[in-house]
């Protein structure tokens, strides 16, 4: 195996732990906090989690560790989309486990949650772990999106744990995976398996956060990577002065990634899906807003610009989600075969016209043909349109182009409009973790082991005070049930961790809203540059603008 100079240098980086975990394993004790309640639907959640509901939040502090002599065999699982820092969660977990007792064992279940129920694993040792310290990716054991949610799966999981003498499972995942971690923890406790389950908050989307979890890991590195690229495009754009760049950024549902990138780079336009939904904006209203910026800039001789589009935006446009619902209905069951049997696009178009309501057809008509066809090509396993595959950056640039053509005819616009398109998503999910994510993830893993050692079950590893230097971070744990409420999923009431969308009355959005009119017309680009791993703290250890604004830091 060959390694790049940066990879070698990153192996030597020593991630920073919260001050309270730095005194050595023997000097970590538990301070109990208040008993907890779920964020909503308390009675229902309590009834569903009779064994794990209402537990106390805890923090760790300096003091005698009285749980040292319990031998632990831990299984770790990476779940869902990659996020920078996942390897360091495993490294922190491993280091704490081995520092406690060198006979402790760490199993890595392969390919995500399915690895546990299929009993596919690798025992992690020094040699393997040392190859992955401070590196991006989830390739140490792989990840997957299988959900652990059925009684049958839990039963098999319990048998696999028993077979290997496993005492705890750590699930590194997003809101869905940690919801399932809570359900598994309840099952294990109810069946007296003696196995505990600890979750770690992961997702570049940034939507697993709440009053306890300040941010999910990976968000920092992914947004810094996208912001570097957007800043580079802005500089190119301001040099060539001839293109409008439409840049879609990942974030399946919430717009935290788009907003953070906008705060970092000050583009001319950034759509925020949550605002689109709150104002019930139509596609043409959105496109007109962008077109206004194009026209005003053209009047000032600037036929160029940058617009950031969040990946999930179309689902937040009410008329578009109605259209999607009607298309799903139009192709439900056997009807899909009939539709797909039609030979030409004209025949299909006539079928669509007959099946859609007048309002939805009006929306459908204004879409470029490539987008119209995308709505009928890609279906998920449930037969639904996969909204994330819609090229919304192309959709909006085309709609803006149509509006500008109309305005030109009326003599309202005299500029030139040439659009380029980009999608930044996978580029950022496996980047070398920033110092922040390296430290945060290592701490989450290390802390997860302390929770295991002290016998907690159904807890999320919690590191807080993150806008401060790592020395001042606070380590502890939070019962996952505290973050849950009941939501309607696939026609059923389900207990789930509440997803955090962008809050329109939150400080990050307010800052953006205060400045965006100026950014839309003037050229105010800022260039964050590449993530710095070595150098002065003020450039290497920067927190996200989102977290800084949320914590009232200017």
# binding residues, ligand FBP (CB under 6 A): 13
Residue 424, SS3?
Answer: strand
Q: Residues 307, 268: contact at Cβ < 8 Å?
A: yes
Cβ at position 176, least distance to ligand FBP in Å: 7
What minimum distance in Å lies between the beta carbon of 145 and ligand FBP? 6
Judged by phi (left if over 0) then psi (alpha if -120 to 50, else beta), residue 241 lies in: left
Among 180, 255, 388, 435, binds ligand FBP (CB under 6 A): 388
- Would you count residue 250 as binding ligand FBP (CB under 6 A)? yes
Q: What are phi and psi of 154, to 5 degrees?
A: -65, -40
CA atoms of 301 and 203, how far apart (whole Å):
41
Out of 175, 176, 205, 220, which one is annotated catalytic?
Answer: 205
Kindly indicate which of the ranges 203-211, 275-283, 399-407, 414-422 contains the residues binding ligand FBP, using the contact rule CB under 6 A.
203-211
Q: How would you class 18 by CB atoms within 10 Å of its CB: exposed for 0-12, middle for 13-18, buried for 19 or more?
A: buried
* Sign of torsion over alpha carbons 337, 340, 346, 347: negative
Nearer to ligand FBP, 80 or 477 (CB): 80
What's the min distance (Å) between Cβ of 386 and ligand FBP? 10
Is 106 one of the binding residues for ligand FBP (CB under 6 A)?
no
Query: Any bridge partners for residue 421, and if so which?
Result: 246
Alpha-carbon distance 149 to 171, whole Å? 13
Does position 251 interact with ligand FBP (CB under 6 A)? The reply is yes
Q: Which two tokens stand for residue 193?
A: 């398996």
Cα–Cα–Cα angle for 350, 355, 357, nearest 5°?
115
Closer residue to ligand FBP in complex, CB, 252/394: 252
Please report whether residue 393 would count as binding ligand FBP according to CB under 6 A. no
Strand extents, DSSP E, 145-225: 168-173, 196-201
Interface with ligand FBP, residue 18, by CB under 6 A: no
Instruction: Output the smallest distance, CB 53 to ligand FBP, in A.
Output: 25
Window 419 to 458, contacts with ligand FBP (CB under 6 A)? 429
Residue with tokens 């964020």: 39
For residues 113 and 445, which CB has a smaller minimum distance to ligand FBP in the complex?
A: 113
Which residue number, 429 or 462, has a Cβ lying nearer to ligand FBP?
Answer: 429
Stretch that binds ligand FBP, among 8-16, 47-55, 67-75, 202-210 (CB under 6 A): 202-210
Query: CA 488, CA 469: separation in Å to the nearest integer?
Result: 40
* Site for ligand FBP contains 221 (CB under 6 A): no
Distance CA 305, CA 284 (A): 19
Whether 231 and 526 have beta carbons less than 8 Å apart is answered as: yes
Q: How far is the CB of 256 from ligand FBP (least distance, A)?
A: 10
Is position 505 annotated as part of the catalytic site? no
Residue 210: which of 553, 498, 457, 508 has the closest Cα? 498
Question: Nearest 5 degrees, angle CA 64-CA 170-CA 127?
Answer: 85
Q: How far apart are CA 218 and CA 548, in angstroms?
A: 16
Q: Which is nearer to ligand FBP, 65 or 203 (CB)?
A: 203
CB of residue 222 to ligand FBP, shortest distance in Å = 8
**Of 57, 95, 186, 205, the one binding ligand FBP by CB under 6 A:** 205
Q: Which of residues 70-99 bind ligand FBP (CB under 6 A)?
A: 80-81, 83
311 binds ligand FBP (CB under 6 A): yes
Stretch that binds ligand FBP, among 85-93, 246-254, 402-410, 521-529 (CB under 6 A): 246-254
By annotation, the residues acting in catalysis are 205
The residues of the shown chain that bind ligand FBP, judged by CB under 6 A, are 80-81, 83, 174, 203-205, 250-252, 311, 388, 429
């Amino acid at each position: 195996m060959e390694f790049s100079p940066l990879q070698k240098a990153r192996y030597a980086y020593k991630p920073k732990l919260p001050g309270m975990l730095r005194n050595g394993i023997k000097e970590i004790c538990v301070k109990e906090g208040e008993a907890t309640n779920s964020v909503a639907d308390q009675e229902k959640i309590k009834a569903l989690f009779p064994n794990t509901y209402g537990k106390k939040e805890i923090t760790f502090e300096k003091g005698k560790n009285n749980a040292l002599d319990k031998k632990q065999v831990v299984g770790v699982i990476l779940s869902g989309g990659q996020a920078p820092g996942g390897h360091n969660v495993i490294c922190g977990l491993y280091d704490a486990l081995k520092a406690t007792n060198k006979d402790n064992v760490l199993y890595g279940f392969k390919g995500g949650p399915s690895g546990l129920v299929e009993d596919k694993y690798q025992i992690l040792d020094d040699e393997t772990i040392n190859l992955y310290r401070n590196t991006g990716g989830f390739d140490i054991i792989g990840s997957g999106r299988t959900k652990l949610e059925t009684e049958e799966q839990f039963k098999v999981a319990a048998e696999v744990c028993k077979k290997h003498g496993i005492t705890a499972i750590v699930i590194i995942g997003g809101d869905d995976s940690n919801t399932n971690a809570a359900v598994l923890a309840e099952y294990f406790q109810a069946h007296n398996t003696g196995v505990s389950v600890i979750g770690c908050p992961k997702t570049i989307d940034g939507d697993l956060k709440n009053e306890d979890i300040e941010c999910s890991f990976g968000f920092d590195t992914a947004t810094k990577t996208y912001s570097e690229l957007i800043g580079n495009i802005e500089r190119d754009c301001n040099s060539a002065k001839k293109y409008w760049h439409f840049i879609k950024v990942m974030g399946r549902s919430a717009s935290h990634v788009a907003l953070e990138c906008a705060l970092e780079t000050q583009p001319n336009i950034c759509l925020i899906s949550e605002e689109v939904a709150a104002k019930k904006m139509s596609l043409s209203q959105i496109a007109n807003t962008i077109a206004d910026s194009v026209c005003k800039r053209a009047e000032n001789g600037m036929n160029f610009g940058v617009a950031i589009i969040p990946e999930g935006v179309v689902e937040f446009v009410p008329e578009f989600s109605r259209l999607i619902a009607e298309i799903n209905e139009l192709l439900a069951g056997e009807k899909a075969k009939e539709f797909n049997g039609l030979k030409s696009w004209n025949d299909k178009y006539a079928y669509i016209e007959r099946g859609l309501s007048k309002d939805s057809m009006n929306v459908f008509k204004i879409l470029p043909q490539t987008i119209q066809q995308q709505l009928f090509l890609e279906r998920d396993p449930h037969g639904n349109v996969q909204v994330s595959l819609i090229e919304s950056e192309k959709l909006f640039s085309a709609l803006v182009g149509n509006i500008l053509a109309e305005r030109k005819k009326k003599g309202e616009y005299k500029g030139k409009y040439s659009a380029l398109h980009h999608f930044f998503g996978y580029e950022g999910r496996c980047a070398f973790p920033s110092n922040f994510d390296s430290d945060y993830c290592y701490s989450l893993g290390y802390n997860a082991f302390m929770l295991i050692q002290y016998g907690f079950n159904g807890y999320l590893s919690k590191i807080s005070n993150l806008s401060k230097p790592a020395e001042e971070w606070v380590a502890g744990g939070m019962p996952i049930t505290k973050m849950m409420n009941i939501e309607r999923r696939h026609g059923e009431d389900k207990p789930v961790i509440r997803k955090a969308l962008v809050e329109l009355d939150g400080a990050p959005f307010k800052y953006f809203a205060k400045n965006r009119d100026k950014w839309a017309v003037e050229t105010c680009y800022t260039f964050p540059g590449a993530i710095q791993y070595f150098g002065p703290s003020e450039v290497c250890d920067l927190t996200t603008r989102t977290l800084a604004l949320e914590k009232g830091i200017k």
